[in-house]
Structure 1
Amino acid sequence: MASTVEKKGQIHEEEAGTSDEGSFHDNTRLEQWIEKDGQQVLVSWTKAEEAAIVRKADFILLPVFCLMFTWMAIDRTNVSGVLTSTFLTDTGISKDQANVGVSLLWLGIVLLEIPANVILHRIGPHYWIPCQVILWGLIEVMQHFVNSAGGWYAARLFLGLAESGFIPGSLYTLSRWYTQDELARRTAIFFFGPSLSSSFGSLISAGALGLTGQGGLKGWQWIFIICGVCTMTAGVIAFCILPESPHKTNRLFGGLIPWRGWLSDREADVYVARILKADPAKGNHSTMHITWNDISSVVFDWRVWPYLIVCLSGLQSVGGLATWGAVIIESLGFTNVDANLLNAPAPIVAAFLGVALGWAADRYKRFGPLMIGVAIWTLIGLIALFVGCPSSLPKVRVVANCLEPPCWQPINVTWLSLSMKTPQKRAIAYAFYIGCSNLGGTYGSQVFRSSDAPLYRTAWTACISLGAVWLLVLIIQSTINYVSDRRFVRRLRDHPELESEALYTDSRGQKHRYYW
């Protein structure tokens, strides 16, 4: 945010009562001092006015981030459709070499994850993020020239390098536009498109494969071209719309073209005031300085690591299916087009369930129980994939594939970010978490080896083992957070000075230090 907070006097809230945790009736008036044009300004507004303004961000800002993330996910996973085509034969690449290329993409992302996030905070997300999207879209298009293993390795590595930092940078940017009570839901919506990406990617692949021969190109080449052009278009849209701050929504294309903007001056004042009232630490400028101490305080915080272990084990327990799902279905006797179509429905269900999880996390401030439920769901599906009777294997595999778990990563990454007390730590935590997520991609796709086809017994065993680790760590993590929070609540009664350590207040007015 461009504005900073200076509290002057008592903030008045004409409380007409509360309807649920942290919310007021629509006619409640709130007040907050903000800094504007070098002067302190007292902003007064109602909850009804605030809700209308937030809806503008929900319908303008949030969809742009969701669109960019969706095409990133499609660009990553469209290799599943490419591998059902003549790609391997045309390029002379083996299935295992294709796996290496997939791993190099994730490695490229990890290499620049934190540096890219630092750059974002130096020059601003309104410039960095759109340019980044346009760049990797161009690289995606260039992949249609691949004709050897070396070219495949280079293309995937550079694609990963170009994508570095996008997810944590976007999450951090959204965290500065929404309050803690709104973040889990919006993060789930941010991940909604990517959750559907396997479905979109499969449908795009099915259509592109039908273009084989058009323009002298193979179907897999059309997949890369279509996805790359759409990605660059999303980047241009973002460059047009993304503002530097609520007070600067009137600058199209990074300020090159002035217009009236999608937030009026009054609405921008209210938007900044509501954010600062919920979290004064967000009053720092959108570009800020991140030090080594900020990085080390997150990297060496033992409480951060359970989130990372959950990420590494949970995501990769099903990560291989994102790459090889359509191939596995094709190996059961389906055509490549039918395999892509059958691979499409499960992510749609998972995406909608993921949004429901985000709503529940915001509403009840409970993360552990939701995550544990998803981990159990995942294990059931993986076990079904492993023990399917050979005589009915095609039917069992396809049905089990539809047991894809709800999109839970937004819940976990929000759980982590809400535990960070400063914007700098929150930014690094996002980068560190997403870096670990992408690091998992380097081995997640490797579990499905050509020597293990078509039953993939070794692969399913590895996936089940990762799922079991995921569930165990979640149980331990939730228990530790619950016990630690109970102790904090008891100590707070005798030591009111600890109130500054609290992260949220429940519907009964009790302050808490840990989410569980």
Structure 2
Amino acid sequence: MSDTHASPSPTGIKAESLTDDYHGSAVATTAAAAPEAPVEYTKEEETRLVRKIDLVVVPILMFLYLLSFLDRSNIGNARIEGLIDDVGITDYSSILTIFFVGYVIGEVPASLILKRTSPTFWLSTLTLLWGIVSVIMAFVPNQASLYAVRFFLGVSESGLFPGSVFVFSLYYPRHQRHYRTALLLSGAAVSGAFGGILAYGLAKLGGKGGLAAWQYIFLLEGLVTVVAGALGYWLVPNYPQRSKTFSAREKAIIAHRMAEDADAVDNEPFNWHGVRAAFRDPYVYLMGLLFHGFAFALYTISNFMPAIIKELGYTSAQAQLLTVPPYAFAFLVTMSTAHLSFLARKRLVFIILAALLAIVGYVVQITSPTVGGKYTAVFITAAGVYAGNALLLSLPSENVSGQTKRATALAMQIMFGNTGSIIGVQLYRTPLGSLKNTNYRISHGLAIVWLGIGIGAASALWILLDRENKRRDREVQRKSDEEGKSAEQLQSVEEKRLLGDRRLDWRYQI
């Protein structure tokens, strides 16, 4: 990249092209009829802007996702603090499953509402809603009511992650998105570590004020989320061109960076064509299958780690604290893997390697004869699972073009992928049917099978996307030779907008 950039603003987009009126429908835009002034900026100015975007966009979304993962997974901490006996739970795995049923059902509708409203309004509203549901969970009197509350927790949390990744796709060019997505998912690892410490402390309150330890876990963590949701209406980033945080010049540079990356910025209102395009794209289904394989492991680890460690012979208090180091290690490995992937400009090979690392961890958990060996294996498993998920969940934002299609594809990946979560939590039982399943050995073996599904999907994507990139290279060369035009000139702006990631100058990130 040169030291100074100078090019026209994206076609049809000017710094102030978005209308100021918003009435709860699709985001309205107006095309610029006047000639567009060139945008010139230095490399240093761009670097400063990226740092500002990182400060404005990433921390708040990472914090909200940390809270969402904490509020969905703290049931694992509550379980070993008396929840099972007090509420009369006879089927813990099904209590976990109902959350993912709500999560899957809510995914696509939540993403479509986001596209029709704004990130600031919708992501903050979702946070406020699931915070309220989390507080209610502290007062459930029986198993039936816990089923209902967990279902609505899943529905209300469903739109946050795909919505956050969608926001990243509005501010960052494709090659910069996966690192921010990794940061976002690292919030899940941080929440695991923080959740263990917090649960240990809150358990000390058990019996005070007439509330049990598990009730304090749900109540106080839920109240933090309610406060965060209320503050989100001022802190969660909006569409770039509607943001009050960035100057007109900064908005113009953002628009130029996105246009240089062959992607739209803010000029696409919601449209059903994009929704249909996502549902017809076979690559989106493969991305969903990839997450399906990894989600089995991700959510069984996050929901069962305290119980897995307790079964090694530790007390509840010890198990809460011993969940912290594996999550901290997973955070470090996740960020290191994301950085290496960024430097290598490769995604799928690192996803496959992460799956293999997790499989090694599961094998050691199954075969190790010692407590120390099994506990060490939890570190290895968590590191591989979290690192792989951090990379694979950025694939739609990097490989799907068109805002509506991308928002839908992100939701579809989570929706189809979380069917793996539903299966996983059902298969982590002791006993498992007529099988004893000591230390979850059989369940760990099934997790290996599902990671194998993930490896298969990643391999298929690698082969198919690479083949399609090469086909487009040949097609561009042929047409350029015949028509005497560059790759960018072979199709009009309108054709590119309609074709999205199917246009000739689009190359998939693999």
| Counterpart residue number, 1:30 | 6
* Residue 281 (structure 1) aligned to one of 245, 264, 269: 264
The aligned runs of 1:282-297 (5 Å cut-off) are 282-284=265-267, 288-291=269-272, 293-297=273-277
Equivalent position of 1:267 in the other structure: 250
Q: Is the aligned partner of 1:220 residue 2:214?
A: yes
Aligned-partner Cα distance in 2 for 1:485–1:415: 16
2:501 corresponding residue in structure 1: none
Aligned twin of 1:5: none
Partner of residue 499 from structure 1, selected from 477, 480, 487: 487
Deviation at 1:110, TM superposition (A): 1.0
Correspondence 1:458 to 2:442: yes
What secondary structure is seen at the aligned counterpart in 2 of 1:304?
A: helix
Residue-by-residue CA offset, 1:12-37 (whole Å, 9 max, x unaligned): xxxxxxxxxxx33xx32333324244
Specify whether residues 124 and 283 from structure 1 end up closer, same or farther in structure 2 by C-alpha distance, changes over 3 A only: closer
Letter in 2 for 1:118: L
Q: Which stretches in structure 2 are left out of the alignment for 5+ residues?
A: 18-33, 497-503
SS at match of 2:40: strand
**What's the secondary structure of 1:86's corresponding residue?**
helix
Tell me the equivalent position of 2:469.
485
Give distance in 2, aligned partners of 1:266 and 1:295.
Answer: 32
Written as runs of structure 1 = structure 2, the 5 A alignment for 1:6-25 is 23-24=1-2
1:191 & 1:386 partners in 2: Cα distance?
A: 27
In structure 1, the partner of 2:422 is: 442
Query: 1:54, 1:457 → 2: CA distance?
Result: 46
After superposition, the CA RMSD in angstroms is 2.3
Alignment of 1:411-426 (within 5 A): 411-426=391-406
Matched letter for residue 35 of structure 1:
K
- Partners of 1:321 and 1:330 lie apart in 2 by 13
Contact 1:328 1:454 in 2 (8 A): no
SS at match of 2:418: helix
* Residue in structure 2 matched with residue 9 of structure 1 by the alignment: none
Are the structure 2 counterparts of residues 330 and 121 from structure 1 closer, same or farther at C-alpha, using a change threshold of 3 Å? same
> 2:375 — aligned with what?
398
The alignment covers a number of residue pairs equal to 467
Whether 1:310 and 2:290 are equivalent positions in the alignment is: yes
- Of 158, 163, 183 in structure 2, the residue corresponding to residue 164 of structure 1 is 158
Where does the alignment leave 5 or more consecutive residues of structure 1 unmatched?
1-22, 251-261, 504-509
Q: Would you say the 8 A contact 1:118–1:290 is kept in 2? A: no
Q: Distance in 1 between matches of 2:198 and 2:473?
A: 52
Separation in 1, partners of 2:487, 2:471: 13
> Are the aligned partners of 2:99 and 2:152 in contact in 1 as well (CA < 8 Å)?
yes
The question of whether the paired residues in 2 share the 8 Å contact of 1:320 and 1:446 is answered with no
SS in 2 for 1:146: coil
- 1:82 is matched with which residue: 72, 75, 78? 78
Q: Which amino acid is the alignment partner of residue 46 of structure 1?
A: T
CA–CA distance in 2 between the matches of 1:411 and 1:49?
29
Distance 1:359 1:331 in 2: 35
Give 1:48 shift.
0.8
**Is 2:167 the partner of 1:173?**
yes
- TM-score relative to the length of structure 2: 0.86
Residue 316 (structure 2) aligned to one of 301, 317, 336: 336
- Look up the equivalent residue of 2:448 and give its one-letter code: I
Separation in 2, partners of 1:274, 1:385? 47
Give the secondary-structure state (helix, strand or coil) at the position aligned to 2:297. Answer: helix
Aligned equivalents of 2:267 and 2:505: distance in 1? 25
**Residue 30 of structure 1 contacts residue 46 of structure 1 at CA under 8 Å; is this kept in 2?**
no
1:39-68 deviation per Cα after TM superposition (whole angstroms, max 9, x unaligned): 544332112111101211111221010010
- Aligned runs of 1:213-252 on 2, under 5 Å? 213-250=207-244
